């Protein structure tokens, strides 16, 4: 087998599977709350031995009760309600089995060096961003895989392989905008609760890998920080975290239920005491189904010899031919902003020459043509 095209075949399989599972209803009716770690997996611990598995469970249960009280018609499902070990892959499976509209995984962070310096919250969506700090957090959270029996059969992949991170992110890429939208709301609510936000980020968390819905992982704070450990291990602190996530959920649900989905993308990877909005791209907002935007990732002379494993974070990709040249492009986006957001992800992942192209009735055209319509 030509191993260079294997990831592309997997990509096709992923989208064949995910498209059949897509819930077209925009309402948020079912939420799965995942208390990180548990049982033989204690997670990280603090200077006074506060354990992550207990903190995350307390926050998860408080959050669930708040949602049940405020939204009795919303079904709340927990991946665990007591101190038991739940394999990572089963957590996403629980969400998929219940056809959840949102998946929230709650965790605590830990610093490897400068333990009493790092503090604050981070909320993650699945992705391939290669910032060293993101990778360290991801590796620590994914290490629990090694505690599972038959983990090689359960995952059939190396959790630290770049190629497999590509495949993992493809499953979640169709929900990336909603995931980042919700993650942004969480960090803003934590800031409003006078907590420090380290921002909205992306990394290849195994627990998010198979979730067929918008999904986030909340690192609620650093247990390795003396003051933050006391806060996270207290009932008052757990209440603050749960309430912030609840307020974010309320805003997210109201937004989607009202079909008023709008997102101001966060600044990724830049620690800040508050969440800032990215610059907005100015373009004529008129649109019609005759126009669409695509991101060109690469031009290739031979599909079979190209390294299709480098197709990163594509919602759907295809090979097209223009003027005798084969090109790898994304699916069509309805707006320029959507295409620019996708392009930025690919550029960060290494496709520095990626660019947005506009098409009219399937034929390449110009922005001038689009703005003149």
Residue 178 pLDDT exceeds 50: yes
pTM here is 0.59
Query: What domains lie within the chain, and their CATH numbers?
Result: 6-257 (3.40.630.40), 291-372 (3.30.70.1070)
- Of the listed ranges 55-64, 81-90, 308-317, the one predicted with least confidence: 308-317
pLDDT of residue 368: 73
Q: Is the dihedral of CA 104, 142, 195, 231 positive or negative?
A: positive
Going by their DSSP bridges, the two strands 325-330 and 291-300 should be labelled as antiparallel
Q: What is the pLDDT of residues 17-33, one digit of tens each?
A: 343 344 434 689 999 99
Rounded CA-CA distance 360/288 in Å is 10
Residue 77 confidence (pLDDT) above 80:
yes
Q: pLDDT by residue (tens digit) across 252-270?
A: 998 888 754 333 333 333 3
3-state secondary structure of 280: coil
């Amino acid at each position: 087998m030509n191993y260079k095209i294997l990831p592309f075949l997997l990509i096709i399989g992923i989208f064949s599977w995910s498209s059949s599972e897509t819930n077209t209803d925009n309402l948020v009716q079912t939420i799965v709350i995942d208390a990180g770690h548990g049982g033989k997996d204690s997670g990280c611990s603090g200077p006074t031995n506060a354990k992550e598995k207990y903190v995350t469970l307390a926050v998860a249960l408080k959050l669930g009760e708040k949602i049940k009280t405020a939204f009795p018609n919303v079904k709340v499902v927990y991946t665990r309600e007591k101190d038991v070990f739940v394999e990572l892959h089963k957590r996403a499976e629980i969400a998929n089995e219940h056809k959840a509209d949102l998946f929230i995984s709650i965790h605590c962070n830990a610093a490897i060096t400068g333990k009493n310096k790092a503090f604050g919250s981070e909320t993650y969506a699945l992705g391939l961003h290669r910032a060293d700090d993101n990778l360290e957090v991801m590796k620590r959270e994914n290490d629990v895989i090694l505690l599972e029996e038959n983990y090689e059969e359960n995952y059939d992949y190396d959790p630290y392989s770049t190629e497999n991170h590509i495949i993992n992110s493809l499953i979640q890429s169709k929900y990336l905008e909603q995931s980042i939208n919700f993650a942004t709301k969480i960090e803003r609510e934590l800031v409003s609760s006078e907590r420090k936000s380290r921002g909205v980020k992306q990394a290849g968390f195994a627990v998010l890998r198979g979730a067929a819905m918008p999904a986030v992982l909340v690192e609620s704070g650093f247990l390795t920080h003396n003051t933050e450990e006391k806060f996270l291990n207290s009932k008052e602190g757990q209440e603050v975290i749960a309430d912030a996530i609840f307020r974010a959920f309320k805003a997210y649900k109201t937004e989607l239920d009202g079909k008023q989905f709008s997102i101001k993308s966060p600044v990724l990877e830049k620690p800040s005491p508050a969440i800032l909005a990215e610059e907005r791209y100015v373009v004529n907002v008129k649109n019609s189904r005759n126009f669409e935007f695509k991101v060109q990732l690469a031009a290739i002379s031979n599909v079979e010899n190209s390294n299709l494993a480098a197709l990163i974070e594509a919602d759907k990709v295809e090979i097209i031919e223009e003027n005798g040249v084969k090109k790898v492009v994304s699916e069509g986006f309805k707006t320029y902003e959507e295409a620019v957001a996708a392009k930025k992800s690919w550029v960060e992942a290494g496709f520095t020459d990626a660019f947005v192209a506009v098409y009219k009735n399937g034929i390449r055209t110009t922005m001038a043509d689009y703005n003149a319509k």
